Amino acid sequence: MPVDQGFIFNPADLSEDVDLDVERRREILFTHAHLADWTHWQVLGLPWNATAEQAREAYREKVKIFHPDRYPAKRLGSFRARLEQVFRRLTEARDVLANETSRAAYASRTAPPDEFARAEARRLDDEGRTRERRARLARTNPIVARIGRVNELLQRGKQRMADGQFSQALNDFSTALAIDPALAEAKALAQEARKRTSADKAKELWDNAHAAEAVNNLELAQEMAAAAAEADPTSPRYPIFAARMALKRGALETARSQAEAAVRIAPGHGPAHEVLGETLAEQGDKGGAKRELERALELDPGLERARERLKRLRWSFLG
Amino acid sequence: MSEIEPFVGIDLGTTNSVVGTVIDGVPRVIASRTGQILTPSVVAVSKNGKRLVGNIAKRQAITNAENTVFAAKRLIGRRWGSKEMEDARKVLPYQLVPGPEGHDVRVVLGGRTFAIPEVSAMVLAELKADAEAFFGRRVAKAVITVPAYFNDGQRQATKDAGRIAGFEVLRIINEPTSAALAYGFGKQMEKKVVVFDLGGGTFDISVLDIGKSVYDVVAVGGDTYLGGEDFDRRIMDWLTFSFAKENQGIDLRQDTMALQRLRDASEKAKIELSSAQSAAIHLPFLAAAGEGKAALHLAKQLTREKLEELTKDLVDRCIQVTERTLRDAGIRPAQVGEVLLVGGMTRMPRVQQAVKQFFAREPSRGVHPEEVVALGAAIQAHALLYPQKDREVLLLDVTPQNLGIMVVGGYFATIIPKNTTVPTSQTHVFTTVQDQQTSVRIAVLQGESEKAIENELLGEFILDGIRPAKRGEVEIEIAFDISADGIVGVSARDVDTGQRQSITVTATSGLTENELRRILDENLDELLERKQSGELERLRERSLAMIKEIESLVPQVQEAFSRSRFGKDALQKAESVVARARAAIASQDLQQITAMEEQLDRTVQLFKGLAGGAPFPGGEA
């Protein structure tokens, strides 16, 4: 499924009371969210310049997913309108791409920059005017213009950083780097922006994880927290939360790997040891559990849960 | 699901109707209670005031022509005074009058006037009764077919007829598409299929691209006034003309009974000529010759050759429409992978020959021309009700005609072009043309002419409550949408303020909602009502029990939510569900309570889950 990692799902949509599984919801939400910025090829899941026949084929496959008639006697709630909109867009894409004339016009309009250059070069080659080609490329791509463009991008990126629009800023810096890969300032700025973007994303995922927990969808909460941990690998709170959710669901393997990750990130953080200790206790490793829980209390004597669990462990030693 | 709720697909034809269903994955037609596959689309009121439908109505048509309505499909959804209606009036023996608003057409039957959807509903109700006898229980869900070329008004009126007959109409689908569906069902195929559907009253042609169980209609065309009855009429005209020539100018058209006998004889001769080279027409005592003279008889011999000569232009018209539709679809006859012949008229050898000549290939004989449409409708009903794993089906149909509005100068501006895949929608922005203008009048039309007046008027909409401003300052966005049924919807909003504007339909060719409701009330069977009240009591008790359970769970749920910033709206939602359920119970409306029951059930499940000790952040497991 073409779900990209950076896409944030609204937990309210994922938990709406309709007869659709989570996978299908994600697919619908993801596609629907991209209707405005995808090209006709992308909507149909095709590469640029795919043939008319491919467009027809892809359309038939896609409509099986996105036509409301494919969900007989199912409650679709807010997803019905989304499906209808996606269906309309698919049809529009098919109408343009399945017709050779409109397809060709659309292809030249949406050609990726390098394809464009290649096609242009090929054309000029055919005419055997290599020199003219060089002159033309130099004219359309002068070095002066490039420098101006880089400065412009850096300026805009900095402004966006200041406004808290980290992902857009990252975009600007990356574009600047693509034009001039040796630019040290852009490199540093891009790194900073990337860090801030991930932290931002992790924060949002973290909020969503809590929301999912509140509606008692522990699996989703765990997934969200794990995604947050992936986006921002510097904070232990994300893997700790993911481990807690997994522990509650009885997914001990996942709980353990998340808890261990938390300890790895912050070896001096009590709650990380606490959750690892609890997990080990559940897995039956009493010695390991005791060690981790004691370490947790050593680091942070206020951890009630660790104290409680340790007490129970000690009792069972005696018994 | 242990037992599947029965459902039907109905081919509501001009002359005959057929009902079908799907049993254990196999589509089949349902015979009437008297064992017939075809039920004549004929309704009558007998001399003693009894209502007759189907074969029995057709049989008494000769002796009771004024009170026998046939070919109601030619009038359904038509406006009073339209050219089509006037043409029909000239040849129909029963009386037509305008509806109370003067827009739609009514028929007089047994001293009462009926709207056309009411007449069609009588035929549908007959088929419903046949299906119920077949299943041994109530049948409510149906897919009904219409000619692909039907416009919005005709589709809406057909849907109304279904409702009046007591059906829940799942979908209105096109006859040729339905035929293609029945043809392709259960087969793996990737090809372009042309459906050539020449029925009793209409001619339809559809081009489909079938692949991977998706039935994608590429183009449709047709003529809603070209069918078997036109062929019959050519024979009738020939008979009356030669009769007048041989009998000192006696005009048989003045005598409704003679006319009805001629009509029956013509149809019979036409059918006979599909297999024979010549048919004899004998109508003894057809007309009185005058005082003291013996009654006049008609005896003629009609050859196949003569019939083909009489109807040559009709067949040519079919081929012209076919040619145009293929051009719209952007394909050549040679690219067509299969040609399906549908409708009783395609049994005529000359028609088959013309089709074969045009496509340079033998048309398919794999389908039963009279049953196939009802079978396809049944397959679609099945697909719309129950998920199909191995035999999935998806229909993608198109709009048959341009949809647009009338613009300055009386011209027609297309908004949704014909052959657009439905469902679809399109918006159009209007500005005010006068200072302080507060209302706009919009005429919505369907058709292919550049002049608005030559197209079918679907309705006039008055958009009012526009905020007063200088001319051109207010922009109103009108959204036109066409549903999967092919039915048009219109809504409007102010571009700047985003406020929705009210739209009033001032003239349509169909029944108003109030009228429809009145008819539905009248038709309510007493027996059905009593059955419902038992059902009502059971539902009421179940719903009240659930409300009680929800209310008892509220404190626990509140407790569970107290430590979380989430979930507050869940309680509010539950409150509104309970309130609405109470209102539904108070209204005694079976449908409303059924709808609420489901929501109550979901709330109970949710609350049980929440109150069942689900842990919250900070809480102890």
Q: How crowded is residue B407: how many other Cβ atoms within 10 Å of its Cβ?
A: 13
Overall fold of domain A216-318: 1.25.40
> What pLDDT is stored for residue B37 in this prediction?
93
Which residues lie below 8 Å from residue B475, measured CB to CB, with a gap of 6+?
B429, B430, B431, B494, B495, B496
CB nearest to A63's CB, from B214, B385, B602 = B214
pLDDT tier for residue B173 given thresholds of 50, 70 and 90: very high
In angstroms, the separation between the Cα of residue A150 and the nearest Cα of chain B is: 38
CB of A53 less than 8 A from some CB of B: no
Q: Which of B423, B424, B425, B428 is nearest to B442 (CA)?
A: B428
pLDDT tier for residue A115 given thresholds of 50, 70 and 90: low
Residue B396 has pLDDT above 80, yes or no: yes
Distances from the Cα of A260 to the Cα of A278, A280, A287, B88, angstroms: 12, 10, 16, 84
Q: Residues A144-168: what's their mean pLDDT?
A: 79
Residue A123 has pLDDT above 70, yes or no: no
Which residues of chain B neighbour A90 with C-beta distances below 8 Å?
A: none
CB nearest to B617's CB, from A84, A87, A213 = A213
How many percent of chain B have pLDDT more than 90? 41
> What pLDDT is stored for residue B534 in this prediction?
64
* pLDDT tens-digit series, residues B174-226: 999 999 999 998 888 899 999 999 988 889 999 999 988 899 999 999 988 89
Q: How crowded is residue A147: how many other Cβ atoms within 10 Å of its Cβ?
A: 12
* pLDDT tens-digit series, residues B16-72: 999 999 998 899 999 998 889 999 999 998 888 788 999 999 988 888 888 999 989
Question: Same CATH fold, A216-318 and A11-110?
Answer: no
Helices (H), chain A: 11-14, 22-33, 40-43, 52-66, 79-97, 100-110, 113-126, 130-140, 143-162, 166-179, 184-214, 218-231, 237-249, 252-265, 270-283, 286-299, 304-318
| B87 within 8 A of B97, measured Cβ to Cβ | no
pTM (two decimals): 0.66
> What pLDDT is stored for residue B234 in this prediction?
95
> What pLDDT is stored for residue B533 in this prediction?
60
Query: Of the segments B54-58, B475-479, B493-497, which one has the largest average pLDDT value?
Result: B54-58
Q: Where do the structural domains in chain A lie, given as residue ranges?
A: 11-110, 143-197, 216-318
Q: What does DSSP assign to residue B65?
A: G
Catalytic residues of B: 11, 73, 175, 197
Overall fold of domain A11-110: Helix Hairpins (1.10.287)
> What pLDDT is stored for residue A137 in this prediction?
58
Residue A11 has pLDDT above 60, yes or no: yes
Q: How far apart are CA A242 and CA A226, in angstroms?
A: 6
* pLDDT tens-digit series, residues B601-613: 888 887 777 776 5
The strand pair at B112-115 and B105-109 is best described as antiparallel
Q: Do A88 and B385 touch (CB under 8 A)?
A: no
Q: Residues A247-264: what's their mean pLDDT?
A: 89
* pLDDT tens-digit series, residues B503-555: 665 556 567 777 777 777 776 543 344 455 666 777 888 888 888 888 888 88
Plot region of B186 (φ>0 → left; ψ -120 to 50 → alpha; else → beta): left
Q: What does DSSP assign to residue B210?
A: E
> Positive or negative CA dihedral for B583, B586, B589, B593?
positive
The b/e string for B356-392 (b: 16+ C-beta within 10 A; e otherwise) is: eebbeeebeeebbbbbbbbbbbbbbbbbbbeebeeee
Q: Do B212 and A60 touch (CB under 8 A)?
A: yes
The identity of residue B554, as a single letter, is V
Q: Where are the beta strands (DSSP E) in B272-376?
A: 278-287, 296-303, 338-342
This complex has an ipTM of 0.70
| B247 within 8 A of B287, measured Cβ to Cβ | yes
> Tokens 């300026």, residue?
A155
Q: Residues A149-161: what's their mean pLDDT?
A: 83
Residue B620 has pLDDT above 80, yes or no: no
Q: Residues B356-362: what's their mean pLDDT?
A: 94
* Minimum mean pLDDT range among A129-133, A310-314, B273-277: A129-133
Long-range contacts of B28-32 (CB under 8 A, 24+ apart): B28/B375, B28/B378, B29/B371, B29/B374, B29/B375, B30/B130, B30/B131, B30/B134, B31/B130, B31/B134, B32/B126, B32/B127, B32/B130
Q: How crowded is residue B595: how many other Cβ atoms within 10 Å of its Cβ?
A: 13
> What pLDDT is stored for residue B618 in this prediction?
37
Residue B191 token pair: 């090809």
Q: How far apart are CA B201 and CA B225, in angstroms?
A: 6
> What pLDDT is stored for residue A219 in this prediction?
85
* pLDDT tens-digit series, residues B405-454: 888 788 898 999 999 998 888 888 888 888 888 887 888 889 888 888 88
Q: Do B566 and A17 touch (CB under 8 A)?
A: no
Which residues of chain B neighbour A213 with C-beta distances below 8 Å?
A: 616-617
pLDDT tier for residue A189 given thresholds of 50, 70 and 90: confident
